[in-house]
Amino acid sequence: MKKYIISFISLVLFSATMAQNKEIAPEDLNGMRAIGSPANPKVRMSWDRYHDYAQITKFCNDLAKAYPNLVSVSSIGKSFEGRDIWALTITDTKTGKEKEKPAFYIDGGIHANELQGVEVSMYTAWYLAESFQTIPFINRLLKDKVFYILPTISPDSREHFIYKPNNSNTSRSGMRPFDNDGDGLVNEDLLDDLDGDGNIVMMRRKSKTGRWKIDPKYPSRMIMLRGDEMGDYEMLGYEGIDNDGDGLVNEDGEGTYDPNRDWAWNWQPDYVQRGALFYPGTLPETRAVKDFVVNHPNIAGAQSYHNYGGMFLRGPGAAEDEGLFSREDVAAYDVIGKLGERMIPGYNYFVLYKDLYTVYGGEIDFLCLTRGIFTFSNELMTSYKLFNQKAATGRWDNDEFNEFDKYLLFGDGYVEWKPFKHPQFGDIEIGGPKKNYIRNHPGFMLQEDAHRNMAFTLYHAYQTPKLEIVAIKTEKLSGDITAVTATIMNTRVIPTHSTFDVKNKIERPNAITLKGANVIAGMTVENEDLNLFTEQQFQPASIQVPTIRGMGNVKVRWLVKGNPNGATVEVNSAKGGVVTSKVSN
C-alpha cells in the first residue's frame, strides 16, 4: 500500500511540475522527440495537406490565442470578394517595441495554383511560435527581430482553385471579372468539368491523322510523335465545351490577369507585360500589401513564395535594372543564396531576368527597389525532388512525374482516361494530371520542403542588420571639453541601407545620438589614426549616418562641455533597430 501511495504522490508532484512549466515543451512526449520538431505543440497542425481560407483563418487566430506574448493577428485589408487579408506579427513582445526591431516580411499565395507557398508561410509562423521556448536560436531571433507573415495575399483565387474545377495552371489570377475574349460578355465560357471530379484534365480523340500515341510504359501519358511515325490520337486541349458558340473552348474564364504584374516598379501595360492591368495597384490586394510595407519601414528583408522550379530568385526582373544592384549588395545576396543551394538540394540561386524570364511590375522589384528591402522569391517544388537527381531530359519531355506516380503515389496523381460524348467533338476521352499534381508537392514531401525553405528564410532574416555599440571611450581635452567616441558595428551581412536606397534617399539615415550631455560638436570619424573627421554642422548631438555596411562599422565623436558620465548613446535605425549604451568615464 505504501508503494502505491508514494507512486500517487510522485504522479501528483510530476503533474504539478508540468503545469508550472507548461510553457516549455518536454524533450520526451510518449517517446523520443524527433530533432527539429516541436514535441508538444499547442496548435496541432497537419502539414501534409493544403488548407482553405477558413482553416487559414482559424490557424492564425489559434496561434495568436496560444501565444499572446509572441503572436498577434490583424487584417491589412480586404480582397476583391471581401475576404480579410490576414497578417501575423511574431516577436518576443517583452524585449522591445515591434517597430524598433529589424523586421522580416513573408507572403505566399499571390498565384492561386501555387498552393504550397501558403503552407510554407503558415509553417514558418507555427514553427517560430512553437519552438520559441525550446530552440535557443529561435528564442534569440524573436528577441531581436519581428516577423510579418501574410499567409495568403490572394485569398479569393485560392478558394476558387480548391473548390472549383481547375487544372494545375489555372488560375494565376484573382477573381475580378473581365471580358477576356472581347465579345462584350463577361465570364461566359468558363472551364467545364465534364465528369464532375473537380479536375480539368485533357481531351483526346482517336484520329487516323493524329500525331500522338499512348506511352506504353505509362498509360496516363501521351507522347507527341516525330519523324514519319504514325499516331493514334489528336489532342483537343483542356477539358471543356464551347459555351458561346464562337469556335473556342474555355476562352473567357475568371480573371486571367496576373497579380504579380501589378506592382509599382518598372510597370508596363498588358501589350508589353502580359497579365498587367490598368495601372500599378489596380487590385485591392496589391494596394493593401503595398500600404502595409510602406507603413512598416523596419522591414529589412522579405520572402515571397511561388512555384515551380526549385529556385531562389533575386532581382532585378528586367535587364535594364541590373546596374541598380551594387557589387556590395549582390555580395550580401550571394552569401544567402549560395548557402540556400546547400540547404535545399535541387534548388538553384538565380537572377530573375537572367535565369528565368523578364518580369515588369513584379513584387520582388517593388520590395527591393522602391523600399530598399533585400528580397528573395522562392520557386517551390522541382522534379529533382522526385528521385533526388537531375532529369536527363527537359521539363516537357521527361516522364519522371509518371514514373513517380506509378511507384510512389500508386496512380493517385492522374485521372485515368475515360470516354465522354462531347457536344462539339463527338466521341472523345478525358484524362491527365490532377490539378494539385506536378506543380504542388505530394503530401509526404510537403513538410520537408516547408522546413527547408523556412530554414533558408530564417537564415535570411538572421542576416538582416544587427547593430551593436561595441565601444564607447572618453578623452579629456583642454578646459572643460571631453571627446566621446562611439563605435557601432553591424554584425550581419545585410547593410542598414542598400546602395540604391542611399542614392535615392528611400529611408531616413541612421541616427546616432548622444543624450544627456551638452554637445557642442558632432562628427563622423573617417580615419582615427590620421585624425580625419567629417563634422555635422547642424544638430550635432544626433549624427546622421547614411548606412552601416554588412559586417562593417562606423565611428562617431562628440565634443561635450562638462562631464558626459551617465549620458546615453542611442543608435536608431529604421531597418537596424534601436540600441543604447551608457557613457562611463
What pLDDT score was predicted for residue 26? Answer: 53
pLDDT digits (tens, 9 = 90+) for 88-104: 999 999 999 999 999 99
Whole-model pTM: value is 0.93
What pLDDT score was predicted for residue 2? Answer: 44
Q: Does pLDDT of 394 surpass 70?
A: no
CA distances from residue 265 to 110, 149, 278, 289 in whole angstroms, order as listed: 17, 22, 14, 14
Q: Does pLDDT of 392 surpass 90?
A: no
CA distances from residue 326 to 316, 333, 509 in whole angstroms, order as listed: 12, 11, 19
Which one has a higher pLDDT value, 2 or 37?
Answer: 37
pLDDT digits (tens, 9 = 90+) for 401-440: 999 999 999 999 999 999 999 999 999 999 999 999 999 9
Could you tell me the three cell numbers for 333?
A: 545576396
d(CA 549, CA 470) in angstroms, rounded, equals 15
∠ Cα 334 337 341 (to 5°):
130
Helix (H/G/I), strand (E/B), else coil: 385: helix
CA distances from residue 465 to 82, 510, 545, 549, 584 in whole angstroms, order as listed: 37, 12, 14, 9, 26
From the list 363, 379, 429, 507, the catalytic residue is 379
- Is 379 assigned a catalytic role? yes
CATH number for region 41-159+259-381+442-462: 3.40.630.10
Q: Does pLDDT of 22 surpass 50?
A: no
pLDDT digits (tens, 9 = 90+) for 443-476: 999 999 999 999 999 999 999 999 999 999 999 9
Indicate the average pLDDT of the chain: 92
User: What integer is the mean pLDDT of 35-42?
Assistant: 90
pLDDT digits (tens, 9 = 90+) for 129-153: 999 999 999 999 999 999 999 999 9
What pLDDT score was predicted for residue 30? Answer: 65
- Give the CATH class of 467-582: mainly beta
User: What integer is the mean pLDDT of 308-337?
Assistant: 98
User: What integer is the mean pLDDT of 103-124?
Assistant: 97
Could you tell me the three cell numbers for 424?
A: 462539339
pLDDT digits (tens, 9 = 90+) for 310-321: 999 999 999 999
pLDDT band at residue 10 under the 50/70/90 scheme: very low
Query: Which of 238, 250, 290 lies closest to 267 in space, CA to CA?
Result: 290
pLDDT band at residue 14 under the 50/70/90 scheme: very low
pLDDT band at residue 4 under the 50/70/90 scheme: very low
Number of Cβ atoms within 10 Å of the Cβ of 525? 17
What pLDDT score was predicted for residue 396? Answer: 56
d(CA 143, CA 91) in angstroms, rounded, equals 6
What pLDDT score was predicted for residue 185? Answer: 78
d(CA 128, CA 454) in angstroms, rounded, equals 10
Calculate what percentage of the chain has a pLDDT beyond 90.
84
Which H or E element spans position 386?
A: helix 384-387
User: What integer is the mean pLDDT of 5-12?
Assistant: 41
Instruction: Delimit the domains of the chain by residue range.
Output: 41-159+259-381+442-462, 467-582
Is the C-alpha dihedral spanning 327, 333, 337, 338 positive or negative?
positive
Burial (Cβ within 10 Å: 0-12, 13-18, ≥19) of residue 466: middle
Helix (H/G/I), strand (E/B), else coil: 400: helix
Q: Does pLDDT of 68 surpass 50?
A: yes
